[in-house]
Chains A and B, each alone.
Chain A
Amino acid sequence: MKELIIDALTENLPQVLGFVDEQLEAAQCPVKIQMQIDIAVEEIFVNIAHYAYEQEVGTAAVRVEVTNEPPAVQITFIDQGIPYDPLAKADPDVTLSIEERQIGGLGIFMVKKTMDDVEYKYLDGHNVLTLKKGLVSK
């Protein structure tokens, strides 16, 4: 398991993605799956950066665990900010026309759609969000 602890700031996104990509590349993750994982990581990290600590700067821990049988990755985000379950939000209606479509809510929806499993827990004052994704193209 590899861990990165970083200030939860949007400008640190490239570092977070660099850290995750390094592990995925070492695991020979297919490019398409890597892109889906990057999108999910971006959504979750940016959510923490925007909402967890209000005006203050706090940290986020990003843990990446790669398993071999079956080839899969588990990425866990931990912050000590305001308790917030991003999965509780209703999915946007993706069938609406251009005039009716709302801007926003798409990020978490993409995460739910592209990851194999997404789980949120509030544990001992920490928001813990876990993403799971198989590393074999379907």
Chain B
Amino acid sequence: MEIRKETNAGTLNIAISGRVDTTTAPALENELKDSYDSCEALVLDFKDVEYISSAGLRVLLSAQKVMSKKGGMKLVNVSRDIMEIFEVTGFTDILTIE
């Protein structure tokens, strides 16, 4: 998994690529924890995410909980296969996906 960060007028854009699984999700979680204070809103670019397991879903859920008290969080460029995982787990109802 690789993470690229870019801040634009208080909105933090994080582009994630590769696999978000048990072994890589902690790195994403740490990256997000370090960023919460310095950003108002969060955009996660899922264009190059190939795989996400429940470890990754847990990170998204905690990020959503933090960001819903701030300027919000949204996911962009989610592939069809990843979208199906969000549907099965009910995440399509709690995440903002564009």
A contact residues vs B (CB 8 Å cutoff): 10-11, 13-14, 31-32, 35, 38-39, 42-43, 46, 94-99, 101, 103-104, 106-107, 109-110, 113-114
Contact = CB atoms under 8 A, between A and B. Distances in A.
Interface of B: 21-23, 50-51, 53-55, 57-58, 61-62, 64-65, 68, 81, 84-85, 88-90, 93-94
Contact of B53 (A43, A94, A104): A43
Contacts of B89: 94, 106, 109-110, 113
B58 A42 contact: no
Contacts, number: 63
A103 B54 CA distance: 10
Contacts of A43: 53-54
Given A10-B23, A39-B53, A46-B22, A103 B85 contact: no
Contacts of B81: 31-32, 35
8 contacts: A11-B23, A13-B23, A32-B84, A97-B94, A98-B64, A106-B89, A110-B53, A110-B54
